[in-house]
Structure 1
């Protein structure tokens, strides 16, 4: 059910339209002038305005200009007579959502209203009210509302939470929201991406080290577990954690204490673990790449973030949210997306999810020369990202594997020669091969077969 504001100086038409829209399940407020409409907007903002162009005093076009200056994301549908069609077309170019030419049937009106409501950002967050704990998660979809309701219940406990979801779907934002809704909200929230830190450094980052424990350890270093003491530690891409570190992480979770690299004494820690992955941990366990006992420690509660394609009703809301944030960065007065541009966003495939949508909105913000972002710019931005959108860590991982494969092919599987070409000692090189599941024997040239 949506709140609609109806503006028309014809009492009979006003009553008829109000009845039709109310019968369709909407809440309708009716006024007979532009001045009354502006007064009503000051009291309560609707989700859509439907106005006649010909009004006493200030006309519908002037009303639209006033609404657009105050609430650029609020859609307006104009009702026009034949003589005012050119003005209405001009207004559409300036940002009016659509217009209907009198006489029109009820179905045409309802179709336009439903289309506007589907593509427009709502005035308020209707998913879970105005709770500050999830303020960074912009959503109105039922799917996300159910997820957030579950997340808030989980937050009250101290159970470990595993968040599953594709790259770019907002796993860290959900982890932050759970932390803010928990009794630990006043304590630190610390995040670490397990795939972005080299294996040799990840142990030190997590658990800390003492001075002199290895080459380059010139001072004591406090690990992230200690930094998060009393709060929450978010382990992103936990599926990429090396097996040796999985053992040490399990020990920390069991003993609730950490031993910095090179230290002789353990340090007690009180940390809630939130973890996330886009990988199939069940498949990794079957392959022996992820410990089953660690999995059950981390997966006390499992939450699954939907893809952006599974919550398309959030796309207009997210796009307008990003737009309002980016206008200051690019020092531009942007009023919104043209209706056909917003429709292109809502129907596009989003392999990179919310992160890709943000990138597209930022690109059009940077390039637009008009206050209303046109369809052509959106189409151009949608063509730029490749079908597969990789994070920096994923791109580096792929490059590293391809590089190792190329070296082994070049040396016919001779690991010693490949290590020399890579300027790495043989032990480190074998560790790299093991990390990527590569064995030199795969690349040895087949001996010629004797006739």
Structure 2
């Protein structure tokens, strides 16, 4: 049996409207065979009456009907049930009307004689846009993953592995693009573990200046350095008995990688300025969007630390690989944000949800949240229209970067500016940056910048090439 012959939402009820008895019988048999529940009626009036009795998940209607036609039926459905998807069946003579109807919100139209496979595909797509999340198995405690909104098979596989590994104390490395929800998954693993009653602490290794990161992680004692006015418990001690998430572990400076490895081996931390180590019991979950294998090959990440952290790897798929989750996430965010903006919002129009589902989402879940927040803030009606979603998707927004990525970009641009200003003289650049030469060379190495390239003519980047053309 092909995939298209199986119901996308088994048991979903479909209201079928056609005044041709043979066509109505054929459609009903085909949909029932695919696993759907079917209610069949012969007129728009009967369809509207049936909608008052039961609420189907989709309406499939012929355009040409006695009395009120399929287009008028759609208009009435839109008024009464704005989020209910409608698919129209049309003869060639009414194609222009059907095309116009899609611009008004009809999910799609199919021409007669219709292709059975295409019909089932379109029905599956329409149902996927408004389908509820899969309910947990009876008796199963799913509270550990309550923050993760998903029904996709890709995420189901990841969550199944996450739940298994949660019961062990093995270190976990979470991989995935920025914005895919690595911290949310880390929290879920913590909640499913035997450490759930103890603290969960997360730190972004790329967001804290190198000079402060050691103190943040391991703590310090009073007088350890100029601003150390009191003893300070590091994040390892704060997470004692629980879970510590080291986000963007690939951005950790090499010197600290050595100290972190020692802590993991000895299960003890030595605060900055202390003479004795303090035992800690912490489960480590680390996360990165970087290619750590490439970083190891470039001597930017320690191999021994990598294998210590990478006992189990879980990879979060990008949002584009779990599109069936987009309607769920969009509506979840909408309900959450409606309270923030003090608005009563009922959901997205079907065509608006379709636009969200088919967008590329390079910024993943974080970008989707930003788009939903924008339409929520601007919406003047309970139902979010297509035009507002298109506007939010079309308007160039701030590039979706994590704090760590933005910091990395600023740091590199700052170094490039200094080297251009000093014609690649490291001593002068380091003096302007108020850093010693050794530290400055380390920063240049981190960003793969060669001082010699900045002498005289400077870096031949795109902007320089444009300037040269103008001067020439």
TM-score, length basis structure 2? 0.79
SS in 1 for 2:227: coil
1:156-188: CA deviations, max 9, x gaps?
Answer: 111111011111111111111111111111211
Question: What is the distance in 2 between the residues matched to 1:381 and 1:405?
Answer: 34
Question: What is the distance in 2 between the residues matched to 1:168 and 1:127?
Answer: 25
Question: What is the distance in 1 between the residues matched to 2:137 and 2:248?
Answer: 28
Q: Which of 374, 380, 388 is matched with 1:369 structurally?
A: 380
Q: Which of 14, 29, 42 is matched with 1:19 structurally?
A: 29
State yes or no: 1:5 paired with 2:13.
Answer: yes
Q: Which of 170, 184, 198 is matched with 2:195 structurally?
A: 184
CA contact (8 A) 1:163 1:303 kept: yes
Q: Give the CA RMSD over aligned residues.
A: 3.8
Question: What is the distance in 2 between the residues matched to 1:283 and 1:91?
Answer: 52
State yes or no: 1:384 paired with 2:395.
Answer: yes
Equivalences, count: 431
SS in 2 for 1:276: strand
Match of 1:114 in 2: 124
Question: What is the distance in 1 between the residues matched to 2:121 and 2:295?
Answer: 48
Question: What is the distance in 2 between the residues matched to 1:203 and 1:291?
Answer: 17
Q: Which of 422, 425, 431 is matched with 1:411 structurally?
A: 422
Match of 1:253 in 2: 264
SS in 1 for 2:322: helix
State which drifts further: 128-137 or 346-355: 128-137
Q: By how many angstroms is 1:333 displaced?
A: 2.5
Match of 1:28 in 2: 37
Question: What is the distance in 2 between the residues matched to 1:269 and 1:27?
Answer: 56
Question: What is the distance in 2 between the residues matched to 1:269 and 1:131?
Answer: 30
Question: What is the distance in 1 between the residues matched to 2:241 and 2:130?
Answer: 38
Q: By how many angstroms is 1:401 displaced?
A: 0.9
Q: Which of 134, 145, 153 is matched with 1:142 structurally?
A: 153
Q: By how many angstroms is 1:261 displaced?
A: 0.9
State which drifts further: 247-256 or 126-135: 126-135
CA contact (8 A) 2:132 2:328 kept: no
Q: Structure 1 residues 203, 61: CA separation in 2 closer, same or farther (over 3 Å shift)?
A: same
Structure 2 residues not aligned, in runs of 5+: 1-6, 68-72, 91-97, 458-472
Match of 1:193 in 2: 204
Match of 1:286 in 2: 297
Match of 2:444 in 1: 433
Match of 1:85 in 2: none
SS in 2 for 1:222: coil
Q: Which of 411, 425, 428 is matched with 1:400 structurally?
A: 411
Q: Structure 1 residues 99, 333: CA separation in 2 closer, same or farther (over 3 Å shift)?
A: farther
Q: Structure 1 residues 93, 379: CA separation in 2 closer, same or farther (over 3 Å shift)?
A: closer
Question: What is the distance in 1 between the residues matched to 2:294 and 2:320?
Answer: 25
Q: Map of 1:77-96 to 2, 5 A cutoff?
A: none
Question: What is the distance in 2 between the residues matched to 1:343 and 1:391?
Answer: 27
SS in 1 for 2:201: strand
SS in 1 for 2:130: coil
Structure 1 residues not aligned, in runs of 5+: 81-87, 447-451
State yes or no: 1:358 paired with 2:369.
Answer: yes
Q: By how many angstroms is 1:294 displaced?
A: 0.6
Q: Structure 1 residues 100, 333: CA separation in 2 closer, same or farther (over 3 Å shift)?
A: farther
CA contact (8 A) 1:95 1:372 kept: no
CA contact (8 A) 1:229 1:269 kept: yes
TM-score, length basis structure 1? 0.82
Question: What is the distance in 2 between the residues matched to 1:302 and 1:338?
Answer: 39
Q: By how many angstroms is 1:305 displaced?
A: 1.0
Question: What is the distance in 2 between the residues matched to 1:383 and 1:190?
Answer: 37
Question: What is the distance in 1 between the residues matched to 2:115 and 2:415?
Answer: 66
CA contact (8 A) 2:331 2:347 kept: yes
Question: What is the distance in 2 between the residues matched to 1:62 and 1:415?
Answer: 73
Question: What is the distance in 1 between the residues matched to 2:303 and 2:424?
Answer: 33
Q: Structure 1 residues 336, 104: CA separation in 2 closer, same or farther (over 3 Å shift)?
A: farther
Question: What is the distance in 2 between the residues matched to 1:400 and 1:98?
Answer: 49
1:351-374: CA deviations, max 9, x gaps?
Answer: 111111111121122222333323
CA contact (8 A) 1:193 1:235 kept: yes
Question: What is the distance in 2 between the residues matched to 1:346 and 1:279?
Answer: 27
Q: By how many angstroms is 1:284 displaced?
A: 0.8
CA contact (8 A) 2:214 2:256 kept: yes
SS in 2 for 1:169: coil
SS in 2 for 1:221: coil
Question: What is the distance in 2 between the residues matched to 1:5 and 1:14?
Answer: 15
Question: What is the distance in 1 between the residues matched to 2:401 and 2:39?
Answer: 50
Q: Structure 1 residues 51, 441: CA separation in 2 closer, same or farther (over 3 Å shift)?
A: closer
1:274-317: CA deviations, max 9, x gaps?
Answer: 01111111111111111111111100011111111122222222
CA contact (8 A) 1:7 1:14 kept: no
Q: Structure 1 residues 29, 226: CA separation in 2 closer, same or farther (over 3 Å shift)?
A: farther
Question: What is the distance in 2 between the residues matched to 1:157 and 1:394?
Answer: 32
